[in-house]
Amino acid sequence: MRLAILVNSPAYGTQGSATAYRFCQAAITKGHQIAGVFFYQQGVANANALTLPASDETNLVQLWADLASQHQFPLDVCIAAALRRGVVDEVSAQEQRLPANNLMAPFAMTGLGQLAELVGRADRLVQF
């Protein structure tokens, strides 16, 4: 089964993103495919490369990046929600003349149209 994942929860402060991550791991272990993960609303915080958890805490941002790279699925971030919350890619930083960007690779800024395409490629949409 091909699964599309929608994450609305931030990396820290709630369990939603961590639960989504563990769900993806379990689905892959059971032989399912992750068609992609779309981060929306507060979930865009999962793409912030400047997130620095304490040394005894899990770095969920890095875990997402590693899982997607290992299993070759996209991590899409809603550009409107991200910019509103201070998550900026290189292109947006240049366009807005900002001094830096903070979008973690391999996360990619996309629009809501990408979510529709993701759902179209999947058998199920699971939201966290």
* Per-10-residue mean pLDDT, the chain, length 128: 98 96 98 98 98 94 98 98 98 96 98 97 98
pLDDT score for 16: 97
The C-alpha angle 65, 114, 124, rounded to 5 degrees, equals 80
pLDDT score for 6: 98
24 as an active site residue: the answer is no
Distance CA 43, CA 45 (A): 5
**From the candidates 6, 78, 82, 104, which is the catalytic residue?**
78
Return the number of other C-beta atoms located less than 10 Å from residue 63's C-beta: 18
CATH number of 2-127: 3.40.1260.10
CB 5 within 8 A of CB 124: no
Using the CB atoms, write b or e for 64-87: b if 16+ within 10 Å: bbebbeeeebbbbbbbebbbebeb
pLDDT score for 83: 97
Domain boundaries, the chain: 2-127
